[in-house]
Structure 1
């Protein structure tokens, strides 16, 4: 087993141990369990990273047999000077806030209060860097009082938590890359990022979809050329799409912006940014309603525009409470194709994704690119807002292509999806891919889902980026071609119907024609006989 695999195993065990503690104190499957698990995990991660960075800055501490004793020998001024040299992405932690300090104090009276105050103090001391903002400007800090979620034996609960944090250190894995932390993050939140929470449920975008979106937006041949760009997701969820995009560009070459109505999602996205070395973007995470109150604006009050946008917006959501407000004059340009009408009985069937899609198009820079997950029905709808959006993309030449994905690529929804790629610089041909026949069906809990192999993912990415036409898989068409097909973006409607021709001699042709004639004569003869029988039977029928 490699060192990386070993630490991945230890990290997952830590997560399982924390869940076990919660279960033992009555919090298993409790709505607050995910807050405890994610915040304690983050405390452990930030504590170990702080120690790691301090050891890198001062080799005396790094080489000491007891780093904490060596660190405690520093005067307060020396300690503060050392903290000032830390990277901006490293949380500042006081001497009495270490995990080792808590471990040593666990038998003191009212230990739950000591534990809670430690986390709250760290959150306060680092609020400028690590806080998520609400649309109204309020700060959502890193940590809160966690023992309040336990009805009794609060001290014992906090002791059990701290004892799980001392088994190993993250120090050896801070140099790991995106794939390691993506796996850890998915494992950490797998029980909490589901659709069981009602209408603002988060959906975990499959890695295959995220990978295809990122690598088609940023082809490897162009990856090194991308510098100092902005990346935005108006319905970010836990950040899977943004993390994949940032990884393709380079975490140090981009700045992340996001907005999501769910506080839970915003917290998970913050955790994702911390794990993936994108702390510099945390202050751009906004908890709020993107469609009603978009937060990111320029100094003149107009909406900010971005270099790259990725999104897997909600497909169905009741926004009837504020839909009339979206029809105001100030929103006319943003929602150029209109606002969906409100059904009388099924308000949640409103196509909210059409609002996000219009918002995304409006929020792209002049040379911007976007990738958006849409219901496959969008690409062929014959009228309405869907058609108006497609017409704009084609008539103004800002479409890169479409990839129609296999059914059940999302295990928790039966809706077939496609990925719409927008590119304001693409004035020539468009790539349409039908990948609906790819993948293998597997069981995912009670649901079925389709899984793409790495080879199939690469096939889609390569075909798209190279603009290849492949029989019964992809076509390369002009904007004029699309307009002539009623703006359909379905690859299947452009596939050629092929008729196979076989060369035969004149004698073979005459022989075949003679066989056809004889066969027809036989059939006609049998038909005549049958006709006589039927007439005879009918003539023998009497009323009585």
Structure 2
């Protein structure tokens, strides 16, 4: 995006967040996010529906041999009949489904919400199923009814739209939010007198993502359950390059990895002059999430962006109720909760997923790793965020599992991350990258070389900047630096070790370190600039200087004692 578009989005974020944040006095962040994100979703589906209607009206009036939508004016007795026929035709559901646009019934359209919400509540009239006029009970009922109508008409959305009446919000506050969204240009936006090249899907997708991040900050530890910092997600996606195939996240939260994958596909398509919509058809998205409200957030997140998805039949525990047992994915990416203690069930004792050893009952880290490896295709690659302890722990079989993963040549790259990246934990973290085909024998990407028994270590602890007093973040340059080193190493494109940052090691190197995978053990220290002074001479000079300083210290100490003695004090 250019600077104008970025400025437009920033001002939009600020405006909408200030409006939404007024609910904080009545609800905590864990609840008011459902109200706000529900309204964002309603605005999106309605805008997308209206955009499709505008396109259809244009098609109805265009005469051409290959335009199957054309409606000749001469076929109707009057202009009024013609206009009525167009309006009737616009209500045909198939026109929207064929364009992958959600059907929005009249009761759920934003224009209806806006019209009804501005009226005094005691004068709001609604037609029930029998066609009788009834008075509305509240604005929240109006919104819930819209959500219900959309679910009824779109099987993909059944059960994922959270109702808001349960939060008992004042009508005035909800009307204020509806008015704020109504006053905002999501379709054909203009900023600073310039028409922007942004579609409603792009804008509302951005707003949805921004709000998820803000809610995660507001919720603190709880927010981390559904939100992984954007820069970390982007780093993993940039390193794995998932531009085609099956993408899977077994601990998906609100679906951040899928959103970043979609953005990556779009950029990849631009770079190679592909049609982005055609490129997206080459990706299949699979996810799983145990928390029911987070599962709904993820589904809404995908729907706003038009990403087709399979999140299983329900929210469910990944270990105990795998929703994709037969899936073998080309890319697996996840940020599972660190060091889970209460994950074990005796039904998992002889699970087929524990190919490299049974994980300890008191820590799920290596259960997540093995679950993901189990779901990899023969040419698949994966990236997983884990606590730093996973790189060195030898307790309760963890060391043996790590050793087997290394010896069977699944581990490809380890990245150590700086602290303070997460809203919900200060536990130091790392990224494991594993691959089923380091030989590149089943050629998915001809650019990669044979990397068997080679391992890349990257120490990124010194990268990033402090976004505020408590949170660190990566710049785009930081992400590019790490991803470019990884790709250069994979492809043999002039890769070189950089002291203190990256090191290409072999199996013997790892054995010498007792199968510990902490990058700091391999990359060494940053090389100091050579000042031209021989080491022996420098050491002699510095030693003499230190002796002089010790002597001066003794002289000053004696003088202080004398002065204190003169004042009647003794040390």
Q: TM-score, normalised by structure 1?
A: 0.75
| 1:18–1:164 contact (8 Å) kept in structure 2 | no
Aligned length: 468
Cα distance between partner residues in 2 of 1:413 and 1:276: 29
Cα distance between partner residues in 2 of 1:97 and 1:326: 45
Q: How does 1:297-446 map to 2 (within 5 A)?
A: 297-298=325-326, 304-319=327-342, 322-327=344-349, 329=350, 331-334=351-354, 336-341=356-361, 350-427=362-439, 428=451, 429-444=454-469
Per-residue Cα deviation, 1:285-341 (whole angstroms, up to 9, x for no partner):
74110011111133xxxxx22110001111133426x532221x3x14436421314
Gaps of 5+ in 2: 63-79, 126-134, 190-196, 267-279, 440-450, 490-494, 548-571
1:454 to 472, 476, 481: 476
Report the alpha carbon displacement of residue 364 of structure 1 after superposing the two structures with TM.
0.8
Please name the residue that 1:44 is paired with: 43
Please name the residue that 2:447 is paired with: none
Cα distance between partner residues in 2 of 1:264 and 1:213: 25
Cα distance between partner residues in 1 of 2:390 and 2:218: 23
Report the alpha carbon displacement of residue 119 of structure 1 after superposing the two structures with TM.
2.5
Q: CA RMSD in A?
A: 3.9
Cα distance between partner residues in 2 of 1:318 and 1:493: 28
1:243 to 246, 251, 259: 259
| 1:403–1:419 contact (8 Å) kept in structure 2 | yes
User: Structure 2 vs 1, CA of residues 62 and 281 (structure 1 numbering), >3 Å: closer, same or farther?
Assistant: farther
Report the alpha carbon displacement of residue 232 of structure 1 after superposing the two structures with TM.
0.6
Report the alpha carbon displacement of residue 14 of structure 1 after superposing the two structures with TM.
3.7
User: Structure 2 vs 1, CA of residues 205 and 502 (structure 1 numbering), >3 Å: closer, same or farther?
Assistant: same
Cα distance between partner residues in 1 of 2:464 and 2:5: 32
Report the alpha carbon displacement of residue 245 of structure 1 after superposing the two structures with TM.
2.6
Please name the residue that 1:254 is paired with: 283
Please name the residue that 2:161 is paired with: 142
Which of 375-384 and 175-184 deviates more? 175-184
| 1:406–1:437 contact (8 Å) kept in structure 2 | yes
1:130 to 157, 161, 166: 157
Report the alpha carbon displacement of residue 143 of structure 1 after superposing the two structures with TM.
4.8
User: Structure 2 vs 1, CA of residues 161 and 181 (structure 1 numbering), >3 Å: closer, same or farther?
Assistant: closer
Which of 230-239 and 177-186 deviates more? 177-186
Q: How does 1:160-199 map to 2 (within 5 A)?
A: 160-172=176-188, 175-176=198-199, 183-193=206-216, 196=219
User: Structure 2 vs 1, CA of residues 406 and 161 (structure 1 numbering), >3 Å: closer, same or farther?
Assistant: closer
Cα distance between partner residues in 2 of 1:103 and 1:61: 28
Cα distance between partner residues in 1 of 2:404 and 2:81: 65
Cα distance between partner residues in 1 of 2:177 and 2:200: 28
Structure 2 counterpart SS, 1:443: coil
Which of 229-238 and 408-417 deviates more? 408-417
Q: TM-score, normalised by structure 2?
A: 0.72
